[in-house]
Structure 1
Amino acid sequence: MEWKMDSSRQVDTLVDRLGAWASEPGPLYERLAGALRDLVTEGTLVAGERLPSERALATALRISRTTVVSAYDALRSENVLDSRQGSGTRVSASVGPVRSDGWASGTVANPMYQNLLRDTPRVISVACLRTPALEVVEEAVREVVDRDLPALMAEDTYHPRGLPVLRQALADRYTDQGLPTTPDQIVVTTGAHQAVALVAQLYLREGSPVVAEDPGFAGCLDLMRDRGAHFLPVRVDDHGIEPLRVRRAITEHAPHLIYVMPSYHNPTGTLMSAARRRELGEMVARYGVPLLEDSAYTGIRAEDEPPPIAAFAPRGAEIITVDSLSKVGWAGLRLGWLRAPTEIAMRLSRRKVLADLGSPLLDQAVAVRLLPHYDRLAAERSAQLVRALDRMEGLLRESMPTWEWRRPAGGAALWVRLPGVNAREFAQVALCHDVELVPGPMMSSSEDDRFSEYFRLPFAYDDATSEELVWRLSQAWRELDRHGPVVDDPVRLVV
């Protein structure tokens, strides 16, 4: 990527990739130099790639220009960077081959996943939603070990579509929800994330138009970007995605896929009404457009949650419904599934075989034990998160009374607005207080900064963590309000 005249979007891209750079020990300039060095080493920044000017990067990171100058100087001395009159600062040619497109293979656009690989225990990261295991999950694991292990060890196949008993149980559950389903329509996956990835592989190629909610879940948007998706963003209101705008996108752009999160939309927490689900189901059947329904973002649940969109759709609608036990049960249980028309399920099964031959049988056995208790599991998780939400809202009102949010219908996060403040700038200040945020633009399917004042704030924490998180955020907020850019500590800074 070329930073031409320090385009704000391109500078923001580098800032996002730097992640929690300020949380490392040592002088601030050394931390920045180390983060840039890591991007070069891992191939995210490649030989010949131009970096932003010192002033532009300092402004974006909310630090002094002196810090950026010192970081660049340190990397020049190591021959990692090279500066020439008229061409700015670039990654040195000695670090590796130049790619014609300026991108390294396997680059992950969203730092949510880059930062999962970094060991930063002091940092409270709100980039990913992690849920602790409930007692019923522990009980299921013990039952598998005590009762199911011999039979499981006797299995002599990978079961790439999933254990037959699990697929039957999932099919029965959908049928009970008013969506008649057979086991042949179920594919078990290694988490809902893999299910979405398989769907993206099946339907998308470079330039494929995709109708997506705006804002939306950054992780799945990135999966589709990686397949070359061209997003047709549709705003989300209090009842979910707006059907009239979806219809307009269908008739004007002939999308290859529609991607929605009807049950507790991430990040807004809205619940799509039954009327809209019916309208969407009928619409995709009429126009013959595949729809991916992501139902994996659970947490607080409403008693009147409608059935899946596919339950409202006429026969023949190409709707793939994705769900998971990771949020409602335990984040460490990487077990998801998809429900699709039989022919589509078989095509996705073939891609599943290529991906990993099959999901872990132990996890599937735990899921078999859990499904009969799913309603209890969901109720316990919901009650736990209602308490956590009440606590988080109380802390925020007391510490940051100017922040704005609407209590979500469900899910596990708040969509917070910072009136008049750029969330990217606040995120940089928060990093210096060991909190990693996800600014609104990172959760948008559009190309503008319409959510520049927003960030997502999970609340699925115990009281002690919530209190510490809000305290750190309050310190960052006061610092931003008083001083603007972060001021380097002259005692720690060595230039």
Structure 2
Amino acid sequence: MSADGRANQRLVDHRTAIVDSAALAARLGRWSHGDGTLSAQLAHRIRSLAETGELRPGDRLPAERALAAAISVSRGTVVSAYAALAEQGAVERRQGSGTRIAGSSAAHARDNGRGGRGEALFSALPDAIDLLRTVPQIPDAAVAIIRAHEPRLDLALIPETDPAGFPMLRAQIADLLTAEGTPTTPEQILVTHGAQQAISLVVNAMVGPGDVVLAEEVTWPGVTDTVGLRGGSVHGIAMGEDGLDVAALEVAMARMRPALVALNPHHQNPTGTRLSAASRTRVADLAAQYGVPIIEDRVVAGISFDGVVPPTLAAERPDAPVIVVESLSKWAWAGLRVGWLRADPVLVRRLRGARQLADQSTSVPAQLLASDLLEHAAELRREISATHQERLRLLLRLMDEHLPDWTFREPRGGLALWAALPVGSADALARIAAVHGVAVAGSAEFAAGASPDDHIRLPFTAPDAVLTEGIRRLGEAWREYRELL
């Protein structure tokens, strides 16, 4: 995925609430590559910008003639699109004041909480091959550890535990982070019910209605959905071959005054990119300079095919407000919902209270088993990396056989391949693929704003036979779709 400067071009002049026609054209991306008439597709894309918060209630859209010139269509196409949006209640049209995004900020905040992008990742039909989720195969070493696990009864039988986690487990996690280059004390650790709960606790504590959160332009929907439920909006930052465009991040931090930045910089989900050392340092510097907290999602950082596991952003600048989130689910056992976050002790105490209100604490037996698995973290990460490197090689062979015209950048770690369609709509292809008995997710499920509808995420976590059949079916669906274009 190449950076295209979209995040650097201001969409709306916030003094006048007027939307720039050239900036809007850039944000629309490949809007005309889907199904339906041009006016219907244009209306759909403009509405998606409003739904994700890039266009806010009261923003004035460009005049029909100006937008038509910017996107190279007839004025009638834009007139029809605006009329359709008005019928849907998405815009308000008044003589002398132009076409404006409908609703109030409060209504927009409520709308953001309806439904979620992440729901689509759990929507495979019972008889379909599921290529939606990145659920890795449990390592053989983990199976052996689980079989041999004998919890201490004096701990296993206690009726409750500290909402922040068992002291011995917090100390163990702190020691692991310290050994990996991020000096940490147990007071900086909060044990959670998986990484998603850690993300949700932070977002709930820091984001309110109308707040802006910055994230990569395509990201894990657990971030965008959680922010939406709080009434905030996520602004996507452009990405390049090595991940986040840090210059664009700095511009957005200066202009938008975000409440939070949420990043997945190491083997990013879904693109698989790995942020460079210089970019990591710069991101940490920006966090310290602007005082904006950063959530660093590291759940797949340790799944590395070349042995390179970058240090945390927190290790770059101890004074930067970086909140590191991790979990056992991707490299030990997806069924064991134990994760954690590392943050300033003051924030940990604040989140401890929120955790107590949410679900009291993490299961006692789960924490004891997690302790056993953490003792073998290096071994488990090596095994999961080797297993999925081989599975990636299988996927690459299958792509060459069934989808040779798709393009992608081979990931150096992680659990998914981000593949670009040469033409057409990822959403439309996903619907045809479902008919062929394979479920896949496209750009829309991961977009932190309006995004070109031209990529499919392909996890390489399914067993070899299932992955082979899934890609064969996807190839059939692609050939059928190409005939319709």
1:428 equivalent in alignment to 2:431: yes
Note closer, same or farther for the CA distance 1:248–1:174 as it changes in structure 2 (3 Å cut). Answer: same
TM-score normalised by L of structure 2: 0.76
Find out whether 1:197 has 2:200 as its counterpart: yes
Give the Cα–Cα distance (whole angstroms) in 1 for the partners of residues 306 and 223 of structure 2: 24
Answering whether residue 263 of structure 2 is matched by residue 266 of structure 1, we say no
Q: How does 1:243-258 map to 2 (within 5 A)?
A: 243-258=246-261
Q: Does 1:454 align with 2:455?
A: yes
Aligned-residue offset at 1:247: 1.4
Identical pairs, percent:
32
Does the 8 Å CA contact 2:223/2:262 hold for their aligned counterparts?
Answer: no
TM-score, L = length of structure 1: 0.74
Counterparts of 1:87-102 in structure 2 under 5 Å? none
Superimposed CA distance per residue, residues 361-403 of structure 1 (whole angstroms, 9 cap, x where no aligned partner): 1111111001121111000000000110000110110111111
Equivalent residue for 1:309?
A: 313
**How far is 1:303 from its partner?**
1.9
What pairs with 1:341-360 in structure 2 (closer than 5 Å)?
A: 341-360=344-363
Secondary structure, aligned partner of 1:305:
coil
Could you say what secondary structure the match of 1:481 adopts?
helix
Preserved contact between residue 285 and residue 314 of structure 1 (Cα < 8 Å): no
Q: CA deviation at 1:131?
A: 1.5
Alpha-carbon distance in 1 for matches of 2:159, 2:215: 41
SS at the partner of 2:375? helix
SS in 1 for 2:136: coil
Aligned CA distance change for structure 1 residues 389 and 256 (closer, same or farther; 3 Å)? same
**Runs (4+) off by over 3 Å:** 4-7, 9-13, 100-107, 298-302
1:477 matched to 2:478 = yes
Checking the alignment, whether the CA contact within 8 Å between 1:214 and 1:236 is kept in structure 2 is: yes
Matched residue type, 2:335: G
- What residue identity is the alignment partner of 1:386? Q
Match of 2:142, as an amino acid?
V
In 2, distance between residues paired with 1:232 and 1:104? Answer: 16
Sort the Cα spacing of 1:157 and 1:272 in 2 relative to 1 into closer, same or farther, 3 A: same
Q: Which deviations, in whole Å up to 9, do the C-alpha atoms of 1:87-109 show, x marking residues without a partner?
A: 99xxxxxxxxxxx9697997432
Q: Secondary structure at the match of 2:340?
A: strand
Q: Aligned pair in 2 of structure 1 residues 289, 12: CA closer, same or farther (>3 Å)?
A: closer
- One-letter code of the match for 1:304? V
Q: Quick check: 1:162–1:188 contact (8 Å CA) kept in 2?
A: yes
Within 1, Cα distance between the matches of 2:314 and 2:429?
41
1:240-291: per-residue Cα shift (whole Å, max 9, x none)? 2122211111111111111111111111111112221111112211211111
2:216 is aligned with what amino acid?
A: E
Structure-2 separation of matches of 1:435 and 1:152? 45
Q: Distance in 1 between matches of 2:473 and 2:443?
A: 20
Q: Deviations over 1:334-354 (max 9, x none)?
A: 111000011011111111111
For structure 1, which runs of at least 5 residues remain unmatched after alignment?
A: 14-86, 89-99, 485-495
| DSSP 3-state at the match of 1:148 | coil
| One-letter identity of the residue aligned with 1:139 | A
Within 2, Cα distance between the matches of 1:213 and 1:472?
31
Aligned to 1:8: 44
8 Å CA contact retained: 1:108, 1:114:
no
Distance 2:297 2:121 in 1: 24
Shift of 1:476: 0.6
The AA in structure 2 aligned to 1:131 is P
Contact 1:190–1:359 (8 Å) recurs in 2 = yes
Matched, 1:214 2:217: yes
Q: Which residue of 1 is the match for residue 19 of structure 2?
A: none
Per-residue CA deviation, residues 429-458 of structure 1 (Å, 9 max, x unaligned), is 111112222111221112x232x1111111
Per-residue Cα deviation, 1:38-57 (whole angstroms, up to 9, x for no partner)? xxxxxxxxxxxxxxxxxxxx
Change (3 A) 1:212 1:105: closer
Check whether the contact 2:131–2:470 (CA below 8 A) recurs between aligned residues.
Answer: no
Contact 2:271 2:418 in 1 (8 A): yes
What is the CA–CA distance in structure 1 between the aligned matches of 2:273 and 2:322, rounded to whole Å?
Answer: 21
Give the CA deviation at 1:156.
3.7
Find the counterpart in structure 2 of residue 95 from structure 1. none
| 1:147-296 correspondence to structure 2 within 5 Å | 147-296=150-299
Distance in 2 between the 1:469 and 1:288 partners? 46
Decide whether aligned partners of structure 1 residues 10 and 141 sit closer, same or farther in structure 2, where only a CA change above 3 A counts.
Answer: farther
Find the aligned partners of 2:227 and 2:340 in 1 and give their Cα distance: 18
Aligned length, in residue pairs = 391
CA displacement at 1:12 relative to structure 2: 8.2
CA–CA distance in structure 2, aligned partners of residues 195 and 302 of structure 1: 28
1:235, distance to aligned residue in structure 2 (A): 1.2
Aligned residue among 118, 129, 132 for 1:124: 129
Output the amino acid matched with 1:218.
P
1:26 match: none
Residue 32 of structure 1 aligns with which residue?
Answer: none
Q: What displacement does 1:135 show?
A: 2.0
For residues 149 and 121 of structure 1, the distance between their equivalents in structure 2, rounded to whole angstroms, comes to 40
Cα distance per residue 1:448-491 (max 9 Å; x no partner): 232x111111111221011110111011112112245xxxxxxx
Tell me which amino acid in the other structure corresponds to 1:307: P
Cα gap change, 1:199 to 1:140, in 2 (>3 Å):
same
Q: Secondary structure at the match of 2:253?
A: helix
**What CA distance in whole angstroms lies between the structure 1 residues aligned with 2:348 and 2:467?**
41
Q: Report SS of the residue matched to 1:251.
A: helix
The Cα shift of 1:304 comes to: 2.6
Supply the AA of the counterpart residue of 1:109. Answer: G
Q: Are positions 1:414 and 2:450 aligned together?
A: no
Counterpart AA for 1:462: P
- Residue number in structure 2 paired with 1:335: 338
Partner residue of 1:390 out of 393, 397, 421: 393
| Equivalent-residue separation in structure 1 for 2:355 and 2:231 (angstroms) | 20
- Displacement of 1:154: 3.1
Q: Secondary structure at the match of 1:416?
A: strand
Q: Secondary structure at the match of 2:323?
A: strand
Distance 2:403 2:124 in 1: 29
Distance 1:464 1:180, change over 3 A: same
1:109 aligns with 2:116: yes
- In 2 relative to 1, CA 483–243 (structure 1 residues): closer, same or farther, beyond 3 Å? closer
Give 1:204 shift.
0.4
- Name the structure 2 match of 1:80: none
Equivalent residue for 1:133, pick from 131, 134, 138: 138
